[in-house]
Chain A
Amino acid sequence: MSELENAIEAILFVAEQPVELSRLAKAVEAKEVEVTTALASLENRLKDRGIVLLKTNHRYQLVTAPNLASVVERFIGQQFRAELSRPALETLAIIAYRQPVSRADVEAIRGVSSEQTMRSLLLRGLVAESGHSQTPGQAKLYRTTAKFLQVLGLTETDKLPPLDEQIEEL
């Protein structure tokens, strides 16, 4: 394990929120490529530990290992529970697998207005705005957040269960 890796670990330990790769690189005075490599090594080193490395959209965060949720909850005296309606789950699924997406993209798939469910997901901090599309309308685009990964107990969106890509052909 390198000094760089330790420095990154220390910064992520004190950070209260996911840290952007660029900020991390600046803090440790290294190139982003080097930081990415060190992060991969750190992630590997954290296997079988009480904390894991969470990554979302070039942001990194140390969080407690998902399988320790009950112990942590007993200690902090509270637990996070997300009860989501079916429309909210559908909307969340579309954003998670197709991100970044606009609300129109979501509605095209669901065939119904998704304004309210979108707003409730934004309020819960499970999705967030992430730039605008390059198309003429410049629609707002949405992504899932670090909190989304936290409540699902995933370290990155790539770890989502594979989407059943098999479309019944006519």
Chain B
Amino acid sequence: MAYQVALINFEGPLDLLLQLIEKAEVEITNISLAELTNQYLKYIGQLEGLDPEELNGFLSVAAKLAYIKSLALLPQLSPEDAEEMADLGRQLGEYAKFQKAAEQLKRLLQLKEVAYQRSAPAPAFQPPQTSLELTQLQHTYQQLMAKLPKQSTVAMELITIEQATGRLRASLGQRPEMDLDELVGQAGDRQTALVFFLALLELLKNQAVNVIQEGQFQTIRIKACLS
């Protein structure tokens, strides 16, 4: 017997069973459950990579289905067992009900009729209860200022690469050669030295200067090109 096993997305054993019931367009009855047993087993045969706990859920439902089917085939079995069988049907019915409710919620959400609450908090400023003197305010201010870290250094304005290039040209105009250490020394701080270095590269690119270094870690000498 060939079963068409189309891939469907299901979440757990009850969901799978409900989808099978829906696809077969049958009611939740013992007869329909018995008939769907093989299909259900076919599906769980394809399950891979389930952790034992999840698989346990699928197998437990499979066991109930097999039991229901055996009772359907052998109706002479004691009817007391029917109680246990009814459990699965009841569980399925309950779940189906909430799946429908979930659909309803989805529809409500899609209406996008959202009720909004106050978005900004109401003003929460509370004036001090005690009477406040001007001197208190002054005192508090001074205390606060004392706590603040003192800002002693003010960042110096950096010279631009153009300015540095000009200064470098001027220096080289006065004497034919200078070395890099001297240039860095003149700069004073690291950032200015960096700008001078960029200026040097600029002059080098424009072939306004020559840079000579005899060997590794030797002094780098800067010479003006004769133009």
Q: Are A94 and B114 in contact (CB under 8 A)?
A: no
CA gap between A79 and B105 in the complex, in Å? 18
How far apart sit A93 and B105, CA to CA, in the bound complex (Å)? Answer: 7
Which B residues are CB-close (under 8 A) to A93?
Answer: 98, 101-102, 104-105
Given A63-B117, A90-B99, A170-B89, also A111-B111 (CB < 8 A):
no
The docked-state distance in angstroms from the alpha carbon of A155 to that of B57 is 38
User: Contacts A84-B106, A92-B102, A112-B57; is A63 near B116 (CB within 8 Å)?
Assistant: yes
Interface residues of B: mostly helix, strand, loop or mixed? helix
Closest to B18 in A: A111
On whether the beta carbons of A109 and B98 are closer than 8 Å, the reply is: yes
Is B114 in contact with A66, judged by CB distance below 8 angstroms?
yes
Interface residues of B, CB < 8 Å — how many? 44
A76 to chain B, nearest CB (A): 6
Is the beta-carbon distance between A72 and B113 smaller than 8 angstroms? no
Q: Judge if B86 is at the interface, Cβ distance under 8 Å.
A: yes
- B116 CB contact (under 8 Å) in A72, A167, A168: A72
**How many positions in chain A have a CB within 8 Å of any CB in the partner chain?**
53
Q: Is the CB of A170 within 8 A of B57?
A: no
**Chain A hits for B106, CB < 8 A:** 84, 89
| Of A23-31, A36-44, A131-139, A144-152, the one with at least 4 CB within 8 A of chain B | A144-152
Known: A16-B118, A63-B116. 13 other contacts (CB 8 A): A16-B121, A66-B113, A69-B114, A86-B11, A89-B102, A93-B104, A111-B12, A111-B95, A112-B13, A112-B57, A150-B114, A152-B108, A155-B115
- Which A residues are closer than 8 A to B by beta carbons? 14-17, 52, 54, 61-67, 69-70, 72-73, 76, 79-82, 84, 86-87, 89-90, 92-94, 96-97, 109-113, 146, 149-155, 160-161, 163-165, 167-168, 170
